[in-house]
Each structure stands twice: as C-alpha cells, then as structure tokens.
Amino acid sequence: MIEKVVVIGGGAAGPKTAAKLRRERHDIQIDLYTQEDIISYSACGLPYFIEDIIQKPETLIIRTPEDFQKQNINIHTKQKCLKVNPEEQTVLIEDIETKNIYEVHYNILVIATGANPVIPEISGVHLKNIYTLRTVSDGIKIKQKMQNSKRAVLIGGGYISIEVMEALVKNGIQVTLIEKNKQILKMFDEDFAQKITDYIIGRNPGQVNILTNENVTYFEGNNKGEVTKVITANGKIIDTDFVVIGAGVRPNTDFLEGSGLKFSVKNSLRVDNTMRTSNHNIYAVGDCTDNYNLVTNRRTWIPMGSTANKEGRCAAINIAGDNCLFEGILNSTITKYFDYTISIIGISYKEAISLGFQPEYAIVTKQDKAGYMPDNEPMTLKLIADKNTRTILGLQGIGEGDVNQRINTVIPAILGKIKLESFMNIDLPYSPPYSPAIDPVLNAAQIIYQKINV
C-alpha cells in the first residue's frame, strides 16, 4: 500500500511526475522537494527569454507552487536532498536558508534532480560575468548583463551556445564561439557541421566568429574581478564583456554515492523501461537517468526536456499501479539559428561506422515546397540507412526550409524498422504549398536504395 510518494527535483520531470500521479490517484500523499526557489519551468525556453521574444521569466513557468498546492501536492522549495537511504526508505534534506537538516520517509521515491552544467577547470573560470545557462536565475543574469554589453564569448559549440548566440546577435552583441573539437555540434557529421558553421558566420557578417580546434588557456579579469579577456591556446586574446559556458551538463547524482543505486553512462542513474532504478521503491526520471537508444540498442545518456516529460508521465502511471513502458529514445534533437533549422535524429554516418553498421547515405538539397511556389525555401537532408537491413539509421536536416516535417516523418520509420523500399514510396500528403510532388526525404531514400542495389 503506497501512502506517501516523495519527489526530489523541481525542473520538468519531477513536477510532471507529481502532477500526473495526482491525476491518477487521489489517496497518495505527494511531497516534492527542490533546492531552487521556483519549480516546473521550461529551461529550454531560456534562450528565448534572453533574446526577449519572451519578456518575463514567469512566462516560462508551467505551474506555480500554488497551482500544486491546489492539487494537494506539497511543494518544498529551497530544500536540498543530501542523501538517500534506501534501506530505511528515507531521504536527508537540508533547508538551504536555515541550514536545518531533517529526515523524510517515503514509500516510493522519485529522483528527478536533473543535470548540472560542466564547469571546465580553466584558470579564471570563477571570475564575475562568467555564466552558465541552466536555471531561470541564470537566464535573468545573462539577460541583464547583455543589456549593457557589446561583446560576448561562448565556450562550447553545442545547441545551447547556438541558441544563446541567436539571442545575443539579435540584441546587437559581437559574439565569439570557442569550440575545442574540430567541429561544433559533435553529433553531426563533419560536412553538416561545416555547413551549419558557414551559415551562422554568413548570416550576420562580421558579427559572429567561430573558432574550432581552440582551447581557452585562461580568463583574465579586471580589478573588480570581472572577466575582460579570453586567452586561447593558439595565442588569441579576445576582449569580452561576459562569457557563457555551454560545455555540456552532467547528471546531478553525486549525492547518491554510496546509496547502492546502480549507475550507468556518465554517472546517470540506471533505470528500466518502467523508470524504476535498481531499487524497487525508487524511480528516477529526467536528465539524471540513462536512456535506451532504440537505433544502437545501447544504453546512452541524452538529457532532453521532452524525454523528461514523457518519463515523468510514465513513472507516475507505473507508481499509480497502471502500466507504461518507456521503450527508449532516438537521439532526436532540433534547434534553430534565426530561420535556419538544425536537426538530427538517430545516428550520424560517422557514428554508424564506429558502431559497426554498414551505412550508406544520400545528401539531397531541395526546395521544401513545389518549386514554383514563391515562398519555398531550401533545405539539405542527409539520410543514413544500413545496407544489411535496409532500414533507416538517422537523418540530419538543415536549412531555412521545413526540415522539421521531414525529421518527424523519419522518426516512426526508424522505430517501425520500415524498409527503404517501402519508405521511398510512402504516401505523404501532397499539395504545392506543403511539398514537392515527391518529397525530398523520399528522394533521399530512393537514392540510397539505388546505391545499395547497384
């Protein structure tokens, strides 16, 4: 008999679990503890708040603590979980303001502590005006600083840096992005990463610089302790008003050391497809858990807001006594730089090679609508399929055209293991304002099929 469920973490997955569980069951006590002062917000929207497409940070909040109280869910903000004791079924909590430490008992525990930004060990990294972007409070700080700045440096070439770059460029900031690898967006094949780089640099001539194969040696500050220069291994000295570090995140699971819970990729928590950890009474959801990759059939760790929401919903259903399986993910990601969509699903060609697949690919550059429609836009797709099984392994899509539609078309085809010869003739709806008569993604499938069958 479950009487009390304790949720730790207040980002996306924890509140989702609590809210869904309450809809399923009215007889369970639900307590949610979070170290932040707000809960249930969309971290993915933060770049658009900085950009000022969204004016108020509150707009990003999905449900307030008061909304939860109305649902009879007890929200405890500024309360940090220090330790979990699975044998006793207790968690140790610290009140961040009073420093008071207390124990809370649970029947079922849901760990949803998310992920924290990686802070690279670089001299000067703790100077003022060096930020990461993970919480609403981070976003507020960056937005305020941006408003009286002219130059910024972004460390790391992942999605968040691209999104922050758009925000800064739109607000007139001169931006330099520094990436230690030979390409930005490492999940993409190098050819596509290069095309994206070229687009970004060409989009606002002179305002953006992207340095690859480049490491920061140290950050230099002024006498107020504020960062003023970024010095690189290749001897570049970049004047700047502030820095945003987008060097990735890592699961927030350090406090679970010694708990006996099983860990997985990059210290994420190992969960099964019901979102249960290695302990029968403990579930975990969101960015702190590992994932099962349905293309590679391997455990992986891809922290995504959409996955967090689905996992929270699934865990709640299972805790409530019904049945929900979260089968896995396809590494699906999308972002944009101005009107240019950047998306990848499944695996890249290089990853397919490294995993021992026998991949073949096709690159197609086409207009997204009928060629004679005046508002059509170009896009480039790289479709990857396995020669042996003739199933699709992944798709990379970039361009001002409607890439998203094509990405979404391929996802169920990967999941359903639809063969190329079926997929290339699939009945996508056609009308000139929506696509060419034969959709570019089907052209790509046709080309791979012909390559394979030569």
Unique residue bearing structure tokens 């350090």: 254
CA gap 309, 316 in Å, rounded: 11
Unique residue bearing structure tokens 């429609």: 373
Nearer to a copy of itself, 13 or 104 (CB): 13
Q: Which of residues 270-309 bind a copy of itself (CB under 8 A)?
A: 294, 304-309
Stretch that binds a copy of itself, among 200-208, 227-235, 324-332, 351-359 (CB under 8 A): 324-332
Q: Which of residues 12-31 bind a copy of itself (CB under 8 A)?
A: 12
Stretch that binds a copy of itself, among 26-34, 38-46, 98-106, 349-357 (CB under 8 A): 38-46
Binding a copy of itself by CB under 8 A: which of 14, 328, 401, 440?
328
Closest approach of a copy of itself to the CB of residue 121, in Å: 30
Residue 261 is classified by DSSP as: P
52 binds a copy of itself (CB under 8 A): no
Binding mask 380-419 for a copy of itself (x = CB under 8 A): ----------------------x-xxxxxxxxxx-xxxx-
Closest approach of a copy of itself to the CB of residue 388, in Å: 18
437 binds a copy of itself (CB under 8 A): yes
CA gap 386, 83 in Å, rounded: 45
C-alpha distances in Å from residue 358, one per residue of 203, 263, 265, 346, 352 = 36, 31, 25, 15, 7
Closest approach of a copy of itself to the CB of residue 262, in Å: 22
Using alpha carbons only, give the angle 101, 107, 112 rounded to the nearest 5 degrees: 65
**56 within 8 A of 64, measured Cβ to Cβ:** no
Sequence-distant (6+) residues with CB within 8 A of 3 are 28, 29, 107
Closest approach of a copy of itself to the CB of residue 197, in Å: 19
Unique residue bearing structure tokens 């970049």: 238
Nearer to a copy of itself, 153 or 414 (CB): 414
Binding a copy of itself by CB under 8 A: which of 137, 389, 432, 451?
432
CA gap 161, 401 in Å, rounded: 22
Closest approach of a copy of itself to the CB of residue 264, in Å: 18
What are residue 128's DSSP bridge partners? Answer: 226
Pairing between β-strand 359-367 and β-strand 378-386 as defined by DSSP bridges: antiparallel
201: phi > 0 → left, psi -120 to 50 → alpha, else beta; which? Answer: alpha
For the record, the structure tokens of 120 come out as: 């690279």
Nearer to a copy of itself, 216 or 314 (CB): 314
Stretch that binds a copy of itself, among 53-61, 222-230, 243-251, 260-268 (CB under 8 A): 53-61
**What is the full DSSP assignment across 192-247?**
HHHHHHHHHHHHSTTTEEEE-S--EEEEEE-TTSBEEEEEETTS-EEE-SEEEE--
Closest approach of a copy of itself to the CB of residue 433, in Å: 6
Binding mask 345-374 for a copy of itself (x = CB under 8 A): x------------------------x-xxx
123 binds a copy of itself (CB under 8 A): no
Binding a copy of itself by CB under 8 A: which of 333, 348, 367, 396?
333
Q: What does the chain come to in residues?
A: 454
